[in-house]
Amino acid sequence: MNEETTTAINEETASGTIEFSGEGLQELEEILQCYPNKKAAMLPVLHLARQEFKTITPEVMQYVAGLLDLDPIRVFDVVSFYTLFPSEKEGQYVIQVCATLSCDVMGARSVVNHIEKKLGIEVGQTTEDGKITLKKVECLGSCGTAPMMQINDDYYENLTEERIDEILDGLE
Q: Does 159 bind ligand FES (CB under 6 A)?
A: no
| Neighbouring C-beta atoms of residue 78, cutoff 10 Å | 16
CB of 60 to ligand FES, least distance (A): 29
Question: Which listed range, 6-14, 61-69, 99-107, 109-117, lies at the site for ligand FES (CB under 6 A)?
Answer: 99-107
- 140 belongs to the binding site for ligand FES (CB under 6 A): yes
Nearer to ligand FES, 48 or 94 (CB): 94
CA distances for 70 relative to 66, 77, 127, angstroms: 6, 12, 36
Nearer to ligand FES, 13 or 96 (CB): 96
Does the footprint of ligand FES cover residue 112 (CB under 6 A)?
Answer: no
Q: 124, 144, 142: which is closest to 133 by C-alpha?
A: 124
Contact positions with ligand FES (CB under 6 A) in 50-89: none
Could you please report the per-residue DSSP string of 17-53? -----HHHHHHHHHHHHTSSSTGGGHHHHHHHHHHHH
